Structure 1
């Protein structure tokens, strides 16, 4: 069974680059109208331009997912522009911590939890009523393989992604009989601008990142996007509350 869609509109947060941009482009490639949300105006508008360049329909809305009023307004604008919301990919997230647990700071904790947990919770809080009103929908949240196990020297980040999985599973059960499916993707190391910036000064770290995956390489943003589309599609109609590892076999070891 292919990835078939019955809805018309998707919203993607963190869509100004990387996994978010790739997924917004993938949604548009399936004929969906896309609301591109990001704090980065230049990146978000670039994503919209790329979608329009191939004949798709998209609009950009600047949104800080940690601010409730901005998230509320984002969802209101989704309805204002396109009249409905069928699919949501809550992808906005940050990864800024590199140290042992006892060396972490309150600023790091608040920033990571604010975007990665509060942001996902706020997005679902305002997406779910829209989907309830129209009789169904599908939500995918970005977690991480760090949310499925330990992540030494990234304990706050790991905790935030465990929390995303908890939110995902709880919402999936709460809304299962309302025809709303909620799942998560759990990428390992993916080739994004963030990854390149973090490793440009030391290529050996990039080589190590590739080596931790049994397939011998890091992942591609398009591979995560394909998983998101599958989880939103009718082909995954019996899948909810699932955390899909996209890890090149890393968790199988």
Structure 2
């Protein structure tokens, strides 16, 4: 597969880049020429491994810890990035908290509070902080918020997660208005992804994965590396007239009428 150099000389921050989709977005950005800030909250070893993959590609990388449910820590994260790189061209707000899958009858107030604090409050404040600073630099920037196609179908197993991902659409459109034209803000919405966490789920191993493959027109569920380039598309020059958008990559699973 040919990897085009869409981010030569650019700087990219990926939140939640210690594992899964975030790690692959960070590595793909480096493959395309970017220096990368690798954020993590708890998976330091994973973040360091991601940074090593970036530097092995000849790009600069550093790891930085923050709990994005806390505004002060987001400010510290931004301070670190701008201090190290001098600017930030692309922010990918990948951190999301689905928690374990459960029946809707078992949803707790604590789970609702936690998921909304991370996915909605955290993504909003990251968009706010990074976007405001991008406005102050030459050339502006681009922000990609990672959403989900759960907004198309809902989830009886995680209604708090579906609610949070809807919230990300609202905050994205709001900041797309606020920060235009210098900073573009969009949502990338993947469908099911076969991350290590997904592959390890009991329901996935006991038939849910096979069922979903049969229901997907493309006939398969991709791994995270396969979708990283699509997520980053929204931050490229080719997407220069796209803001407030919602890009779906789900193999056709959630196709609906126009």
TM-score normalised by the shorter chain: which range applies?
Answer: over 0.9
Q: TM-score, with normalisation over the residues of structure 2?
A: 0.91
Task: Give 5+ residue unaligned stretches, structure 1.
Answer: none
Query: 2:149 aligned with 1:145, yes or no?
Result: yes
**What residue number does 2:158 align with?**
154
Find runs of 4+ consecutive structure 1 residues off by over 4 angstroms: none
Q: Offset at 1:101? A: 3.7
Does structure 2 conserve the Cα–Cα contact (< 8 Å) formed by 1:144 and 1:187? Answer: yes
> Pick from 226, 231, 239: which aligns with 1:236?
239
How far does residue 80 in structure 1 lie from its aligned partner after superposition? 0.9
Structure 2 CA distance for partners of 1:124 and 1:160, relative to 1, 3 Å: same
| 2:27 pairs with one of 25, 28, 42 | 25
**TM superposition shift of 1:196:** 1.4
1:195 positional shift: 0.4
For residues 34-183 of structure 1, the aligned pairs below 5 Å read: 34-39=36-41, 40-135=43-138, 136-177=140-181, 179-183=182-186
Q: Note if contact 2:5-2:33 (Cα within 8 Å) is conserved in structure 1.
A: no
Say whether the 8 Å CA contact 1:121–1:167 is kept in structure 2. Answer: yes
Aligned length: 251
Query: Contact 1:3–1:235 at 8 Å: present in 2 too?
Result: no
Q: Secondary structure at the match of 1:186?
A: strand
* 8 Å CA contact 2:175, 2:185 repeated in 1: yes
CA deviation string 1:26-82 (max 9, x = no partner): 111121111000111011011001111221210000111112111110100001111
* RMSD (CA atoms): 1.8
2:88 match: secondary structure: coil
